[in-house]
């Protein structure tokens, strides 16, 4: 019996060794089984991943509700998608809106529409439908916001109502005001440089804004309230229309003068307003003495028309004509009450350097 015990122990050890080797080496001798198990594990993992992404899309992006044919399409749509603009620069003309949009387009989280859309202020565009409007917006990723700019929106009589009935309630608006006399002169200078005016007689600035009609005295001259250059500067008139549809929290009110003197400060305000990460810093810009405003040092890949020096084109930064001081005084007296009314409406004051009574 004593001689058999070592043999039994040896046999047990040998059997256990064979069992262990067979257990761990089984996939080597039966690779199809190993591949089947691996495939099953990957399939389960992929189903869980897709299920999670689909759930996210259905709650966050509403992509699956658009009739997408597959989960893959839904995921792709969540990466790059078209949407309503998150914010719209609605005015004002010759107020620096192009410069502001150009700078904002440098932010990695901001996508800007490449041109003025004019969807809400032109009947022929509005009749094309909201799908036509969205199709003109740049595609964005989930963490990006879209900004559109059409300065004439601010004076469009039907625009606030159309936007209220069409756009999401979360839409924000940026208004860039400019001192109304300087704005009118800049608008006039653009008219002089337009191809239509070349070779033809053009009215003087004074004749466009001053009239002898409807004045208290036949010998007196007064500001022509019906003149286009004057009406655009009646900012309070237009803001009353907008504030009848939206409260002030939907708006960010800025001044063109502030953008010219302190672009980074203005851009930081816009970043906060849009809810994007801080990006703009002072070292990104330099003052161009010839233009009279700041230009950026960054390179923009997606906009080929950007000037190599980081400045806007030749049409920006024109030198203004000298206006008769008497005409300037009349315009200051005229716009002073309009400006005060604007300040009360937007709860903000701009340093436009005159407060004379009309």
Output the pLDDT for position 348: 96
Q: pLDDT tens digits for 106-157?
A: 999 999 998 999 999 999 999 999 999 999 999 999 899 999 999 999 999 9
Span 47-59, pLDDT tens digits: 444 444 333 333 3
> What is the model's pLDDT at position 63?
33
Handedness of CA 175, 181, 183, 184 (dihedral sign): positive
pLDDT for res 21: 60
Note if the bond before 43 is cis, omega within 30 degrees: no
**Rounded distance between C-alpha atoms, residue 324 and residue 164, angstroms:** 43
> How many Cβ atoms from other residues are within 10 Å of residue 54's Cβ?
16
Q: Which residues of the chain have pLDDT under 50?
A: 1, 27-39, 42-77, 301-308, 356-358
6 Cβ contact partners less than 8 Å away, ≥ 6 residues apart: none
DSSP symbols for 235-297: HHHHHHHHHTTS-GGGEEEEEHHHHHH-HHHHHHHHHHHHT------GGGEEEETTTTEEEE-
Listed residue (105, 82, 31) closest to 300, CA to CA: 105
**Superfamily per CATH, domain 87-193+203-346:** P-loop containing nucleotide triphosphate hydrolases (3.40.50.300)
* Residue 74 confidence (pLDDT): 40
Tokens for 33, please give them.
């089984």
Residue 355's pLDDT is 52
Q: From residue 194, how far is each of 189, 200, 229, 301 by CA, in Å?
A: 9, 11, 16, 30
pTM of the model: 0.73
């Amino acid at each position: 019996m004593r001689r058999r015990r070592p043999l039994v122990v040896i046999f047990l050890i040998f059997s256990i060794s064979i069992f262990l080797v067979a257990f761990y080496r089984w996939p080597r001798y039966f690779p199809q089984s190993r591949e089947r198990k691996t495939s099953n594990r990957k399939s389960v993992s992929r189903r869980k991943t897709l299920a999670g992404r689909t759930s996210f899309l259905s709650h966050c992006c509403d992509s699956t509700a658009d009739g997408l044919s597959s989960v893959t399409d839904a995921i792709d749509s969540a990466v790059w998608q078209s949407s309503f603009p998150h914010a719209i620069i609605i005015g004002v003309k010759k107020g620096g809106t192009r410069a502001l949009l150009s700078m904002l387009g440098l932010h990695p989280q901001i996508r800007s529409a490449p041109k003025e859309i004019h969807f809400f202020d032109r009947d022929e565009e509005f009749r094309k439908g909201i799908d036509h409007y969205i199709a003109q917006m740049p595609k964005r990723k989930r963490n990006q916001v879209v900004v559109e700019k059409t300065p004439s929106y601010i004076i469009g009589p039907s625009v606030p109502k159309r936007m209220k009935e069409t756009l999401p309630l979360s839409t924000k608006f940026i208004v860039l005001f400019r001192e109304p006399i300087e704005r009118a002169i800049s608008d006039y200078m653009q008219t002089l440089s337009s191809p239509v005016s070349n070779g033809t007689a053009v009215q003087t600035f004074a004749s466009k804004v001053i009239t002898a009609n409807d004045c208290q005295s036949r010998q007196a001259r007064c500001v022509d309230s019906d003149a286009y250059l004057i009406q655009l500067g009646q900012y309070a008139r237009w803001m009353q229309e907008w504030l009848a549809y939206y409260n002030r929290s939907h708006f960010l009110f800025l001044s063109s003068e502030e953008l010219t003197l302190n672009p980074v400060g203005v851009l930081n305000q816009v970043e906060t307003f849009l809810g994007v990460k801080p990006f703009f810093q002072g070292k990104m810009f330099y003052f161009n003495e010839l233009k009279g405003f700041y230009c950026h040092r960054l390179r923009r890949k997606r906009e080929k028309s950007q000037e190599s020096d980081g400045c806007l084109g030749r049409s920006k930064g024109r030198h203004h004509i000298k206006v008769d001081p008497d005409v300037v005084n009349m315009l200051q007296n005229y716009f002073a009450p309009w400006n005060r009314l604007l300040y009360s409406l937007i709860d903000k004051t701009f340093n436009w350097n005159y407060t004379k009574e009309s």
